[in-house]
Amino acid sequence: MRNPNIVSLLLLVVLVSQTPVFSWKKEEFRNCNQTPFCKRARSRNPGDCSLFADQVSISDGDLTAKLFSKNQSHDDPVNPLILSLSVYQDGIMRLKIDEDPTSNPPKTRFQVPDVVLPDFLSKKLHLQRLTTETIDGDAGPSSIVYLSDDYEAVLRHDPLEVYVRYKGSNSRVLSLNSNGLFDFEQLRVKNEDEDWEERFRSHTDTRPYGPQSISFDVSFYDSDFIYGIPEHATSFALRPTRGPNVEESEPYRLFNLDVFEYMHDSPFGLYGSIPFMISHGKSGKTSGFFWLNAAEMQIDVMGDGWNAESGISLPSKQKRIDTFWMSEAGIVDTFFFVGPSPKEVVRQYTSVTGLPSMPQLFATAYHQCRWNYRDEEDVEQVDAKFDEHDIPYDVLWLDIEHTDGKRYFTWDKVLFPHPEEMQKKLAAKGRHMVTIVDPHIKRDESFWLHKEATQKGHYVKDASGKDYDGWCWPGSSSYPDMVNPEIRTWWGDKFSYDNYVGSTPSLYIWNDMNEPSVFNGPEVTMPRDALHLGNVEHRELHNVYGYYFHMATADGLVKRENGRDRPFVLSRAFFAGSQRYGAVWTGDNTADWDQLRVSVPMILTLGLTGISFSGADVGGFFGNPDTELLVRWYQLGAYYPFFRAHAHHDTKRREPWLFGERNTELMREAIHVRYMLLPYFYTLFREANTTGIPVVRPLWMEFPSDEVTFKNDEAFMVGNAIFVQGIYTEQAKHASVYLPGKEYWYDMRTGTAVKGGITHKLEVSEESIPAFQRAGTIIPRKDRFRRSSTQMVNDPYTLVVALNSSQAAEGELYVDDGRSFEFLQGASIHRRFVFSKGQLTSVNLAPTSSRKSQFSSDCIIERIILLGYVGGSKSVSIEPANQKAEIEFGPLRLKGGKGPSVVTIRKPGVRISDDWTVKIL
């Protein structure tokens, strides 16, 4: 949800009371030419950098140097910059460049805290020595240090350049300043004749410290495509924004914004910002680059030949993609990830910024949301209708109208007079509730939260030092300074049952508007000259505000349960590291086919950059989807990591039973697919929690050498086993589907085998979208449907064994209590299933533990389905129980009506927690 356009204070007042719908207007947001630091940076030419490295040495285990300018003058001296290069385990390099503190700059430049893990810092390798080498054409030496057994880092002194290369060769992986575009605007004291103010529309930015931007070029070698830097509603593979034959384009903007009905296929910035880019090429090699900087950033992707007239002769002839990074403030704090595989790059990045949190089981199921369910009677009726129509769901959401006058942590006493009783009724069915809590606090002296925040001095200040006062849903509002850890602790305490009166253990939280959104602010956000802890300007940390708000809320829910239960918090704004605190969604999308299509590259990009738990509003937040679009969105959304339907209050009601019996059946079936696959999804969430590898993946992550997959952003993998292709056009009769790899794929509805490595023209029915199980994999399922995931906990499992050409397959199942942190102490079941040479074996993967309180389960496997089995045997033996079972034909799914028959081992009766072997005789 977001604000409409605001042109006056009068309209703001009308807005708060009536909340009408307007469409987004591009002119209300700055472009690069209206953003001075971006315009200045883009005007620079290759080779403009005049810096060179001197005084290079090893200090405290780092390579250090001072960077001097060749353009020094007595009248306008330029202070040297300080460079440090650090090396960490797993081949990760960190490069920092900042002002020299001994030159007494007017202030200390902001460095983003609380993102890099302390555990990562402990993995630093203390460099012992450097070697020198003269690169062809250079007048002086370059310094080389160890990075890993396969890679080394190079500091080229003059011209200044930093790069990673393969050891013992000139073949590069990543480089910075190869094109000489590095620029660092140092802080200085204002001259009397200078005007540092910047103006946009009716807003003035005072800029007390003047220009302080940084820009540089980064090159990715042996690269054919680059990805990442969310959040943008555009193609998965990032398109060039500058260069010959490139359509004139804005750079990709990273600036957290509350954007109303955002457009698809645009580089415009949205709600979150992660300055992490990944490259991939035909060689199958992958690399990554991350800039830890929370100020506004603009990034150009350069097209081939962009610098053809520069006269620069680069030392490497390798194919590469050049990019240009520009930021308004901060320091250079960058990380180079060498991979070389896609999964290794993601592992390396999440080793720096954190692994995704492990969600509670209920959160991985289906969520029902609307702005707003009107009152307790509406909640009760919606809940009952799901049961009446045999549609499972786990979470019902309440938007801002449930509060008392937009005062968070309160309830409207007329509409929601009995919140605890309402939640307990849902909890009796194993269901949960989520309420919204936003960062804007209503400036009302009778509101206890505002009164306390004011007295304690917890609000962000304006440029004059007073509590910042902006407009949002409640009207006049102030915003807690979440950069301050003491204030985050204070905020977390508000989720206690004593403070959040009416909340229960089954209530969880939704953080919206946390960019932060300010209706009357410049570009609908907080002014850049607002002040945070330590007089840090908002411009320096804007993109991290929502991250800290998400962090504080999640920590508050953990504290609420005395550390026993995992939190669930959905956030709209995000930054690097947000994966540690919960889920995000793609914001205020629209009910049209293009928005359905763009949801896939948006979710894939989030997964590549650490945020595995993400989704898009099913059906589109704005507008009224036609029935076919809504059904197709449910069919695709069932495979999103975060599966939630949501709609604006001006839209028609669209619960799944409102569109006729046939369409209810189709949406019910889509939701049933998700519940059937919950064991597989939960296993994937645990994999993400331990490795960083996303739940939903681009095809090339599983098939890194298959060039056909590199630009495909209409299909994706769920884990390593399921291929999904959305349907993105009306009345589609056929779909062109490329199935990668050399092995067969099995249709998940029929079990039919389809050949890999070619593009198929498949007939499309209204019943489902194309989804296939990969040969050589085993998927755990639960085929009995209950009201909620909580009520499925003790149900038996089905294993779907999709055999490859060697009649082999393997897969995993992870189970814990679905709720607590006990799994971190080993309280879980983790099994690997391997089918080979006619037998299926269950092997324990869980670490051994001396703890007495281990997790246990009496769940059994009731069916084993064999897809692609070519044997003729009719019976099996089960060891060590010394039992027998029969092989017969049975349904692919347990439900009424006719369906395909597949080879099935019925009632083997083995427990999921045990070692066993099922051998075909």
588 noted as active-site residue: yes
The secondary element (H helix, E strand) that includes residue 215 is: strand 214-221
Amino acid letter, residue 708: V
Token pair of 96, please? 């920092």
DSSP codes, 805-851 = TTS-EEEEEEE--SSBSGGGGT-SEEEEEEEETTEEEEEE-SPP---
- Contact predicate 569/598, CB 8 Å: no
Token pair of 654, please? 């669209």
481 noted as active-site residue: no
Looking at 481, 515, 529, 555, which residue is catalytic? 515
Distance of CA 513 to the CA centre of its chain: 17
* CA dist., res. 527 & res. 525, Å (int): 6
DSSP codes, 417-450 = S-HHHHHHHHHTTT-EEEEE--S-EE--TT-HHH
Q: How far apart are the first and last CA of the chain?
A: 60
Looking at 258, 261, 394, 512, which residue is catalytic? 512
Question: In angstroms, what CA-CA distances link 436 with 15, 439, 919?
Answer: 19, 10, 52
Residue 29: closest CA among 65, 13, 5:
5
Token pair of 97, please? 């460049």
DSSP letter at 85 equals: E
* CA dist., res. 701 & res. 693, Å (int): 9
Which long-range contacts link 685-688 to residues 24+ away (Cβ below 8 Å)? 685/356, 685/358, 685/359, 685/364, 685/612, 685/613, 685/641, 686/358, 686/814, 686/823, 686/828, 686/830, 687/719, 687/812, 687/814, 688/355, 688/356, 688/612, 688/613
Question: In angstroms, what CA-CA distances link 122 with 62, 88, 583, 715?
Answer: 14, 9, 28, 39
512 noted as active-site residue: yes
* CA dist., res. 166 & res. 130, Å (int): 16
Other CB atoms within a 10 A radius of the CB of residue 810 amount to 18
* CA dist., res. 30 & res. 526, Å (int): 14
Residue 594: closest CA among 191, 233, 914:
233
Q: Give the E-state strand segments of 281-392 in sequence order.
A: 286-291, 297-301, 320-327, 332-337, 366-368
Question: In angstroms, what CA-CA distances link 267 with 32, 219, 540, 660?
Answer: 12, 20, 22, 39
- Contact predicate 359/566, CB 8 Å: yes
The secondary element (H helix, E strand) that includes residue 97 is: strand 92-99
Looking at 588, 628, 687, 747, which residue is catalytic? 588
Token pair of 115, please? 């993102």
Catalytic residues, which ones?
512, 515, 588
